[in-house]
């Protein structure tokens, strides 16, 4: 079998009697003309005013767009939005783009050029969010659940805020997209950590669940930030645009979710003893590749084995180095570290709690050229040089009749079991 591994492929063998199946997002045709689909979405607002009415009388418009870890075709989308804003009477000089990094590292100028295209770079200022810089943030009260909200001050200074991203299944709020462009996109690290903790402390995956407490928190924060509209795409497994939605953030997001569920939802007949899960397209570092765990967790039997296959050329987590200190600890020890104040990185703590939860269900092996054996063991993952070696180990432990499921695009796969 062959699965993606960054820009390459990795091949391994699964004995036919053991293979339960290989499951990935539904083959879905992309639109022939992405620009035409974006224009169509802009001309058909969902649940709110059209773009011209939305920005009428506005002095400054801020576009908030996802970063280079996301495959949204912003190089096509943003110039079309700028053109539409020009047509509504707003010159380029009154627009800016803020990159919704969440707690990711800043994008370089070269990465901005690739992500947003030469035309966007030429026409408007593009700025990185600064989640760890107090001077860049403003505190604006608390959420319904009591989470203190800090936002990038540029969001609050803008008269209109429009979010640009994509909708895929996600373990923290159910799906990405919609209000997630604001939280965690342009919030301070503490706010993001607290919201992530709300999700993982459920101890039950929210992946694919639309209505949940975390989504409510995100939407409350987005409303506080003044998010007036979103333009979200739904992509297929190859990165092609299947469709786009534009409009009021709650309404447009939920319409987009219906399409996303059809694309990414995959029927899986039964739980498997062993799940081989590829991280594509979330390959850059483990801070992205960890999303592999959650779809795999939904597919593996209690006591089974998850094998993560990921290149991670940037290592574990550039902006959250502390996860190597506490990321391999059991759930109770991480919670104790949070309670005592020994762990300050709440976002890192939240994700390592999710990893601990996955390890309670199944043992985790990892095949990665970018994560050292020492780093893997620090995360309580068993390192292997090849998928075949990891499979041989797992089959040796689970027996000759152990079943194997393969998820080539695990982060973007929403397993649906009987």
User: Would 249 be classed as within a structural domain?
Assistant: yes
In the predicted model, what is the mean pLDDT of residues 213-220?
Answer: 96
Number of structural domains found in the chain:
2
pLDDT digits (tens, 9 = 90+) for 121-149: 999 999 999 999 999 999 999 998 999 99
What three-state secondary structure class fits 300?
strand
Same domain, 276 and 153: no
Band (63; pLDDT cuts 50, 70, 90): very high
Confidence at residue 36, expressed as pLDDT on a 0 to 100 scale: 98
149 shares a domain with 259: yes
> Does 205 lie in the same domain as 349?
no
With a pLDDT cut of 70, the percent of the chain lying above it is: 100
Q: For residues 146 and 255, what is the distance between their CA atoms, to the nearest angstrom?
A: 29
Judgement on whether residues 239 and 282 belong to the same structural domain of the protein: no
Do 235 and 287 lie in a common domain? no
| Residue 368 and residue 285 in one domain | yes
In angstroms, the CA 350 to CA 303 distance is: 23
Structure tokens that stand for 283 in this block: 């390959």
Which residue has better confidence, 87 or 202?
Answer: 87
The answer to whether the peptide bond before residue 281 is cis (omega within 30 degrees of 0) is yes
Q: Are residues 84 and 143 both part of a single domain?
A: yes
- Whether residues 18 and 117 fall in one domain: no
Domain endpoint, select from 212, 244, 264? 264
Is 28 within a domain? no
Three-state secondary structure call for residue 18: helix
CA distances from 241 to 29, 101, 264, 381, 395 (A): 8, 22, 13, 35, 39
Residue 398: give its domain's CATH number. Answer: 3.90.226.30
Query: Is there a domain that residue 89 lies in?
Result: yes
The answer on 229 and 125 residing in a single domain is yes
pLDDT recorded at residue 69: 84
- 414-416 and 227-235 beta bridge pairing: unpaired
On whether residue 220 sits in a domain, the answer given is yes
What CATH number is attached to the domain comprising 181?
Answer: 3.40.50.11440
- Position 215 confidence tier, pLDDT thresholds 50, 70, 90: very high
User: What Rg do the C-alpha atoms of the chain give, in angstroms?
Assistant: 21
Q: Which of 222, 267, 260 minimizes the C-alpha distance to 241?
A: 260
Query: Mean pLDDT score of the chain, rounded to an integer?
Result: 96
Q: Would 341 be classed as within a structural domain?
A: yes
Q: Could you tell me if residue 29 is inside a domain?
A: no
Between CA 161 and CA 184 the distance in angstroms is 15
Q: Does any domain span residue 254? A: yes
199/161 same-domain check: yes
Among the candidates 204, 232, 264, a domain finishes at 264
Q: What is the pTM of this model?
A: 0.89
Domain that holds residue 320: 2-23+268-416
CA distance 259 to 98: 27
DSSP-based three-state secondary structure for 330? coil
277 shares its domain with 257: no
**pLDDT, position 238:** 85
In a domain, 144, yes or no: yes
pLDDT confidence of residue 319: 87
pLDDT in tens, 218-251: 999 999 999 999 999 999 988 999 999 999 999 9
Last residue of a domain, one of 229, 245, 264: 264
- Statement to judge: residues 17 and 62 lie in one domain: no
């Amino acid at each position: 079998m062959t699965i993606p591994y960054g820009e390459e492929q990795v091949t391994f063998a699964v004995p036919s009697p053991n293979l339960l199946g290989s499951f990935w997002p539904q083959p879905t045709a992309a639109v022939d003309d992405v620009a035409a689909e974006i224009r169509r979405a802009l001309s058909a607002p969902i649940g709110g005013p059209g773009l011209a009415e939305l920005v009428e009388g506005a002095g400054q418009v801020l576009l908030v767009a996802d970063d280079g870890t996301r495959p949204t075709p912003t190089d096509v989308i943003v110039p079309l939005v700028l053109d539409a804003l020009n047509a509504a009477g707003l010159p380029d000089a009154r627009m800016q783009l803020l990159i919704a990094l969440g707690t990711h590292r800043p994008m370089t100028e070269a990465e901005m050029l690739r992500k947003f295209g030469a035309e966007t770079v030429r026409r408007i200022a593009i700025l990185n969010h600064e989640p760890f810089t107090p001077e860049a943030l403003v505190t604006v009260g608390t959420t319904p659940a009591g989470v203190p909200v800090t936002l990038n001050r540029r969001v609050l200074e803008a008269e209109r805020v429009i979010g640009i991203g994509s909708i895929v299944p996600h373990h923290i709020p159910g799906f990405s997209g919609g209000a997630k462009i604001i939280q965690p996109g342009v919030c301070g690290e503490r706010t993001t950590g607290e919201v992530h903790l709300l999700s993982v402390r459920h101890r039950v995956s929210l992946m694919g669940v639309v209505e949940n407490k975390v989504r409510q928190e995100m939407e409350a924060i987005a409303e506080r930030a003044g998010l007036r509209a979103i333009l979200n795409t739904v992509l297929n497994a190859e990165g092609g645009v299947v469709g786009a939605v534009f409009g009021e953030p709650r309404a447009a997001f939920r319409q987009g979710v219906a399409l996303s569920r059809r694309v990414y939802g995959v029927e899986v007949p039964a739980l498997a003893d062993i799940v081989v899960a590829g991280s594509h397209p979330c390959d850059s570092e483990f801070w992205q590749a960890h999303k592999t765990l959650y779809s795999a967790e939904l597919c593996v039997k209690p006591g089974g084995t998850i094998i993560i296959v990921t290149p991670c050329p940037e290592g574990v987590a550039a902006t959250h180095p502390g996860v190597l200190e506490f990321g391999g600890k059991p759930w109770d020890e991480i919670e104790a570290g949070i309670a005592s104040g020994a762990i300050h990185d709440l976002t890192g703590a939240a994700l390592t709690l999710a990893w601990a939860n996955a390890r309670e269900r199944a043992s985790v092996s990892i095949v990665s050229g970018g994560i050292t054996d020492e780093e893997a063991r620090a995360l309580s993952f068993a390192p292997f040089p090849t998928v075949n070696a990891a499979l041989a180990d797992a089959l040796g432990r689970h027996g000759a009749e152990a079943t194997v499921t393969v998820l080539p695009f695990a982060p973007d796969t929403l397993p649906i079991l009987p």
